[in-house]
Amino acid sequence: MKTKICALYDQALRLASSLDRFGLGLLRVAILIIFVWIGGLKFWNYEAEGIVPFVANSPFMSFFYQNDAPEYKQYKLKEGELDPVKQAWHQQNNTYGFSHGLGLLIMSIGILTFLGFFWKHVGLIGELLAVVMTLGTLSFLVTTPEVWVPDLGSGESGFPLLSGAGRLVIKDTAILAGAVILLSDTARILRQRRAAGKS
């Protein structure tokens, strides 16, 4: 009985150890789905309005907006809320225009990464951009006050208590890890091809 269990365990390990190529492919598909879906949502007003605190507080992105950073707090909208006055402010702020451009960039990165299935050099570009983009997203943990639970009197606030916005951002650590793994694998394959004279 013990021998049978050991044999089954060994077979399971052998199977699991052979899944590396499948896992790398799955990472490409996952990045495609996440980036195309999230990028596509950037064309909807509620999503564009939702990213304003991240962009307005970022020293790397705030210049895309027309209005002063603190002002956005007066014009926050709940998801799905209709308020023509607030939405007119967002229109003037370039909230929607920036979001559309960001959406196109995010979708392009997902598609480029996926195309690494067929063209490694194209995938390499997508993977590099995915690393840069996720690092940019993770920088919001430092620049955006809204990623931490605010002090509203409960005694539960600040680091390490992530708000809904913070929980949205922290998941990019997994995307970053996946992009780095893909980048490493693609670079290894391209080096092997160069060594074999296939460039």
Where do the domains of the chain lie?
20-195
Residue 97 — pLDDT band, cuts 50, 70, 90?
Answer: very high
Instruction: Please tell me the predicted confidence (pLDDT) of residue 198.
Output: 62
Residue 199 has pLDDT above 60, yes or no: no
> Is the entire prediction scored with pTM above 0.85?
yes
Residue that wins the pLDDT comparison between 110 and 78 = 110
Residue 34 — pLDDT band, cuts 50, 70, 90?
Answer: very high
Instruction: Please tell me the predicted confidence (pLDDT) of residue 148.
Output: 94
Q: For the residues 20-38, what does the mean pLDDT come to?
A: 95
For residue 100, CA distances in Å to 35, 38, 48, 105, 165 come to 14, 11, 8, 9, 20
Q: What residue type is 151 in one-letter code? A: D
Write down the mean pLDDT value for the chain. Answer: 92
Instruction: Please tell me the predicted confidence (pLDDT) of residue 29.
Output: 97
Residue 70 — pLDDT band, cuts 50, 70, 90?
Answer: low
Looking at the chain, list the stretches that DSSP marks H as alpha helix, in order from N- to C-terminal side.
Answer: 2-17, 20-41, 45-50, 52-57, 84-93, 95-114, 120-138, 140-143, 164-170, 172-195
Distance, in Å, from the CA atom of 117 to the CA atom of 95, rounded to the nearest integer, reads 35
Residue 183 has pLDDT above 80, yes or no: yes
